Amino acid sequence: MKHTLFSVALGLLLASTTALADDMPTFKLLMKDGRFFPETIEVPAATRFRLEVKNEGPGATEFESLELKKELVLAPGVTRSLVFFPMKPGTYKFFDDFHPDTGQGRIVAK
């Protein structure tokens, strides 16, 4: 009985977490030829959001932000997502470690 009750509670928790994730605003970032498109992403401050990152280039790329403590390496053709917790208003830089001269961008929380 205890095991069944725990399983039901866990299932409800996972279902509610999935519903919350689906309600999250999603922003798209394309990586190609050592550049980010767009270079600036505006997001609402104090709001959790998802960033969908896609690598359309011929080689590996990396989304990295030291300020936000996020890092994601993508092989060619791969799409992955990062979830960001609510941010204070401001500008947060990110870069592509494989293309440091051209792969620069920013997230602006307003």
Q: HEC states along 16-64?
A: HHHHHHHCCCEEEEEEECCEEECCEEEECCCCCEEEEEEECCCCCEEEE
Question: Could you tell me the domains of the chain?
Answer: 24-109 (2.60.40.420)
Query: Are residues 106 and 68 in contact, defined by beta-carbon separation less than 8 angstroms?
Result: no
Pairing of strands 104-109, 40-43: parallel
Residue in 90, 13, 82 with CA at minimum distance from that of residue 48: 82
What pTM, to 2 d.p., does this model score? 0.79
pLDDT (tens, 9 = 90+) of the chain, 110 residues, equals 555 555 556 565 555 444 455 789 999 999 999 999 999 999 999 999 999 999 999 999 999 999 999 999 999 999 999 999 999 999 999 999 999 999 999 999 99
Tokens at 40, concatenated = 């600036």
